[in-house]
């Protein structure tokens, strides 16, 4: 077996005096194995660095065009804030500040969940990512919607007039009340609304009941 030019040269120069050929083979093989491992590690490191650099230099694609479902949600949501009571069959309220419509929006990482109730019997729950429940449901859904609207009349004095209608951040809830006197709003972290001591806690749970009744109805229809 040939030892390689470098080893043969050193052997000829007496550098490995007293060493056997077999020991030199094992020594050379061990050194070659270590060299191959070192080269492999370096190659992997360079490859990972190149991948990371390419990822960082990749164009930002986060601002992608909105999906059709998102556009439909945005259009429908916008209509909830411009709808006039006189355009649909809603009775005139006793006071200009009496709510005839309620919009509750909860921000989740995946989507915004919007619950809508109007005095004409409309009760809907929709997601910004698409889908939801629309219309009025059955008697249980209608009962939940009426309770939600009743709670809205009780909390209205705690809310303030607004002309801005932003969507909630993740983990937050925004309530909007439609009245003849304008749109009233209030917001709170969802974690606080889950506690009974919060002033808007009952209002929040009344809104959740609409979704609960829709899910119950859906389960019945699937049987």
pLDDT in tens, 130-182: 989 988 888 999 999 999 999 999 999 999 999 999 999 999 999 999 999 99
Range in 22-36, 87-101, 115-129 the model is least confident about: 22-36
pLDDT at 42 over 80: no
Which of the two residues, 209 and 222, has the higher pLDDT score?
Answer: 209
The pLDDT of residue 147:
97
Query: pLDDT > 90: what percent of the chain?
Result: 58
The pLDDT of residue 149:
97
pLDDT at 14 over 50: no
**Alpha carbon separation from 34 to 9, 16, 30, 175 (Å, rounded):** 21, 20, 6, 67
The per-residue pLDDT of the chain, averaged, comes to 78
Binned at pLDDT 50, 70 and 90, residue 33 comes out as very low
Contact of 1 with 25, CB cutoff 8 Å: yes
Binned at pLDDT 50, 70 and 90, residue 122 comes out as very high
Which stretches of the chain are assigned E, i.e. beta strand? 101-107, 112-118, 123-127, 132-133, 160-162, 172-179, 182-189
Binned at pLDDT 50, 70 and 90, residue 206 comes out as very high
Mean per-residue pLDDT, 117-136 = 92
CB hemisphere CA count around 10 (13 angstroms):
12
Q: What is the pLDDT of residues 64-109, one digit of tens each?
A: 455 667 788 999 999 999 999 988 889 899 999 999 999 999 999 9
From 159, 73, 154, 63, select the one nearest 113 (Cα to Cα).
73
Contact of 156 with 97, CB cutoff 8 Å: yes
Which of the two residues, 36 and 172, has the higher pLDDT score?
Answer: 172
Contact of 104 with 181, CB cutoff 8 Å: no
Contact of 66 with 74, CB cutoff 8 Å: yes
The pLDDT of residue 136:
81
């Amino acid at each position: 077996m040939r030892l390689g030019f470098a080893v043969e040269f050193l052997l000829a120069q007496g550098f490995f005096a007293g060493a056997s050929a077999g020991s030199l083979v094992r020594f050379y093989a061990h050194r070659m194995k270590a060299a191959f491992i070192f080269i492999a590690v370096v190659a992997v490191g360079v490859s990972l660095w190149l991948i990371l650099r390419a990822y960082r230099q990749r164009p930002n694609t986060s601002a992608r065009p909105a999906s059709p479902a998102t556009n439909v949600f945005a259009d429908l949501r916008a209509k909830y804030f411009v709808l006039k009571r006189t355009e649909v069959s809603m009775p005139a309220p006793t006071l200009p500040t009496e709510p005839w419509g309620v919009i509750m929006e909860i921000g989740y990482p995946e989507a915004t969940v919007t619950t809508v109730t109007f005095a004409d019997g409309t009760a809907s729950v929709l997601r910004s990512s698409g889908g939801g429940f629309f219309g009025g449901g059955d008697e249980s859904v209608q009962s939940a919607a009426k309770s939600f609207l009743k709670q809205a009349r009780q909390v209205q004095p705690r809310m303030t007039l607004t002309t801005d209608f932003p969507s909630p951040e993740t983990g937050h809830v925004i309530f909007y009340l439609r009245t003849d006197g304008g749109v009233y709003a209030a917001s709170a972290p969802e974690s606080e609304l889950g506690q009974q001591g919060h002033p808007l806690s009952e209002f929040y749970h009344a809104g959740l009941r609409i979704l609960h009744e829709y899910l119950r109805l859906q389960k019945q229809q699937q049987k």
